[in-house]
Structure 1
Amino acid sequence: MIRAAMALAKPGGAAAHLQVFIFHRVHARPDPLFPSEPDATRFDRLCTWLRHWFHVLPLDEAAERLQEGRLPARAAAITFDDGYRDNHDVALPILQRHGLTATFFVATGFLNGGRMWNDDAIEALRGTKLSRLDLAGTAAESLGALDLGDWPARRRALSQVLTAAKYLPATERAAFVAAVLGASQVRASDRLMMDDAQVVALHRAGMQIGGHTVHHPILRRIGDTEAREEICSGKAALEALIQAPVTLFAYPNGVPDVDYDARHVAMVREAGFTAAVSTSMGCGDRHSDPLQLPRFTPWDASRTRYALRLLQAARWRGQRAG
């Protein structure tokens, strides 16, 4: 029944819709700080659904066939952003077991022991033994004191931290998040992201590797020269690593005209990328810009609600998230 409904909502050929799924992490066990993020058991279940409901294609092939009007019905692609270690350790074996391929967009500056700024905040609020975080007198004092008494409180506190820090200049943001991490009395892990060998292993396993800049900046918040360097250097580093062309790109954060704009689309094209994805919600069609394909993944836990959300998404054409 669901498969038939997907075929009607997501036809092939000239009227085709491309459903691109976006993931970041697949935890080995459920994460109480991010209850909607998949763990291994849940991701395995999702892969069962996707394999049954969709014709899952490599993203480069899907993007090309979409533009040419040759996409099959129920077409989909699976993507992961940032380059987390669990992409290799947890997600890859599950994808292989289901015979599915995915594209992994890697920010090269965090490989081999690096850490993204938001993960400092996440590690702090997940791992601290404190029930209250007093940030008075620190670079994050605008947050005051954060209640961390239970997991819902920690989720609210994390939202406050990330919202306050996200669009700060890089130096201020680093100091802000360092203050939160320092006050938490937590030592953040240096094993969150993949190393070079794991990226190569994904490639050798038949997965696609895509560019995601070097340091994951919000492109509209930096100068054009720096943005071009981030895009091109990330691509070059990945190509040197896997010894193959890298033709796919994901915009950091990815909201059109908020996190990137037409200047950056032009840079991505000039760098030699043939397809790119945003975080604009919805499905792509033959009128979609191949360098700004939308992505959407339901957050529902039940099979029926997950499917209904996907059927609803078939009516969206690159709407902004949030």
Structure 2
Amino acid sequence: MPGLETKQIIKRYTGKFITAFSLNKSTKLSVILNYHSVHPTHNFATTPNDFLQQMEYLVANFTMVSLPDFYKLRIAGKSLPDRLAIITFDDGYEDNYTYAFPVLKQFGIKATVFLTTGFINGEVDITEKDGTYQDLKALTWEQVREMRGDGISFGAHTHTHPILTEISLDQAEGEISRSKKILEEKLGEPAGLFAYPFGQPKTFNRNIIDLLKKHGFKSACSTLWGCNNSNVDIFSLNRIRIDACDTFHDFKEKVNGKWEFIKWIQALRG
């Protein structure tokens, strides 16, 4: 859902829903934030200054953990911190290295970047598909390896960024297996994390999850809205999308569970 469209829907319904569907203050919060681009001038990107302010707020108010560590805590059945936050990026834009990475290093935040491997390899320009992130360049493998050396983890996001349920199962399996193989060859380590392209209802299903398990993935992120409790399906982790149009007030409400009504809007939209 594009950021500006989301904003319009939210403004229309916030007054009715924000009280009814906000999380109680006592609710444990495990939030996985979903970013795409951090750029000073792009219309759909979070600005570097906003990103800095957001990370500063999270570090002061949440326990920051990496997505791999969150997975380990879940599998071990250990209790989660009361207020836990995880940073993720989708697609693999160069500005993740240029603008986001220095801020992440400043605060010691171990984010996860989900790479569309064909985009990184220069085989496909995913920015042309819907125009949202048009003109943004891809990360290079050299940049990826440098970030990995500083604690940033990487997951697969398919090879060409299709909606996996709109292609054949054989094609979907090829997208999944190829992205995993390339990622492992380039980084020299197992790739166990995945993010579904688009990640909304109907863009993945049990057949797709079975393919992920078949190829050795351990966990996957959707873009289904919400926090994650101890019972969440590790192959359908919820995320909270951060948009370019978010004010700092919006950001704080989002990460503190005040916009949970979006999950109901997603369900209605199908």
For residues 196 and 101 of structure 2, what CA distance do their matches in structure 1 show? Answer: 23
For residues 23 and 9 of structure 1, what CA distance do their matches in structure 2 show? Answer: 26
For residues 90 and 119 of structure 1, what CA distance do their matches in structure 2 show? Answer: 22
Max Rg structure: 1
- Name 2:114's counterpart in structure 1: 105
Q: Does 1:272 align with 2:216?
A: yes
Contact 1:10 1:18 in 2 (8 A): no
Task: Report the Cα offset of residue 245 of structure 1.
Answer: 1.1
Larger strand fraction of residues? 2
For residues 286 and 244 of structure 1, what CA distance do their matches in structure 2 show? Answer: 28
- Name 1:116's counterpart in structure 2: 125
For residues 88 and 73 of structure 1, what CA distance do their matches in structure 2 show? Answer: 30
For residues 294 and 120 of structure 1, what CA distance do their matches in structure 2 show? Answer: 24
- Name 1:87's counterpart in structure 2: 96
* Distance change (3 Å), C-alpha of 1:25 and 1:54: same
Contact 2:225 2:263 in 1 (8 A): yes
* Distance change (3 Å), C-alpha of 1:121 and 1:227: closer
Q: Render the CA deviation track for 1:264-287: whole Å, top value 9, x for unaligned.
A: 011111111111100000011122
Larger deviation, residues 41-50 vs 312-321: 312-321
Alignment TM-score, normalising by the size of structure 1: 0.69
Instruction: State the identity as a percent.
Output: 28
Task: Report the Cα offset of residue 84 of structure 1.
Answer: 0.6
Larger deviation, residues 298-307 vs 194-203: 298-307
For residues 121 and 283 of structure 1, what CA distance do their matches in structure 2 show? Answer: 28
- Name 1:140's counterpart in structure 2: none
- Name 2:84's counterpart in structure 1: 75
Alignment TM-score, normalising by the size of structure 2: 0.81
Task: Report the Cα offset of residue 24 of structure 1.
Answer: 0.4
Task: Report the Cα offset of residue 307 of structure 1.
Answer: 1.8
Task: Report the Cα offset of residue 69 of structure 1.
Answer: 3.8
Task: Report the Cα offset of residue 315 of structure 1.
Answer: 5.2
* Distance change (3 Å), C-alpha of 1:314 and 1:275: farther
Task: Report the Cα offset of residue 288 of structure 1.
Answer: 1.0
SS of the residue aligned with 2:182?
A: helix
Contact 1:7 1:73 in 2 (8 A): no
For residues 247 and 86 of structure 1, what CA distance do their matches in structure 2 show? Answer: 24
Task: Report the Cα offset of residue 260 of structure 1.
Answer: 1.3
* Distance change (3 Å), C-alpha of 1:55 and 1:314: farther
1:153-232 correspondence runs (5 A): 192-232=137-177
- In structure 2, stretches of 5+ residues that fail to align are 1-22
Give the partner amino acid of 1:248.
L
For residues 61 and 241 of structure 2, what CA distance do their matches in structure 1 show? Answer: 14
For residues 210 and 61 of structure 1, what CA distance do their matches in structure 2 show? Answer: 14
Q: Does 1:20 align with 2:20?
A: no
* Distance change (3 Å), C-alpha of 1:223 and 1:20: same
Task: Report the Cα offset of residue 229 of structure 1.
Answer: 1.2
Give the counterpart of 2:74 among 41, 59, 66: 66
Contact 2:219 2:235 in 1 (8 A): yes
